[in-house]
Amino acid sequence: EKLFHIRDHSDILSISEQQASPILDQKAAQKYLAKYGWTEQVNWDNNEDQNSADEHPAPKELLDILQEGSSLSRQVGNTQTEPTKSIVYVQALKEFQEVNGLPMTGKLDEATKDAMNKPRCGVPDKKVLLNDTSNFNQTTHLNSTTDNGDGGTNATVNSKE
Minimal distance in Å, beta carbon 99 to another protein?
4
Residues in the chain: 161
C-alpha 34/C-alpha 31 separation (Å) is 5
Minimal distance in Å, beta carbon 70 to another protein?
27
152 interacts with another protein by CB under 8 A: yes
Phi then psi for 76, rounded to 5 degrees? Answer: -70, -55
Site mask for another protein (CB under 8 A), range 26-55, x = bound: ----------x-------xxxxxxx-x---
Number of residues that bind another protein (CB under 8 A): 53
DSSP, residue by residue, 64-102: HHHHTT--HHHHHTT--PPPPHHHHHHHHHHHHHHHTT-
Specify whether the CB–CB gap between 96 and 115 falls below 8 A: yes
Which is nearer to another protein, 59 or 157 (by Cβ)?
A: 157
Q: What is the DSSP letter of 41?
A: P
Minimal distance in Å, beta carbon 64 to another protein?
27
C-alpha 139/C-alpha 80 separation (Å) is 27
Interface residue list for another protein (CB under 8 A): 2, 13-14, 16-22, 36, 44-50, 52, 99-100, 115, 117-123, 125, 127, 129, 132, 134, 136, 138-145, 147, 151-154, 156-160
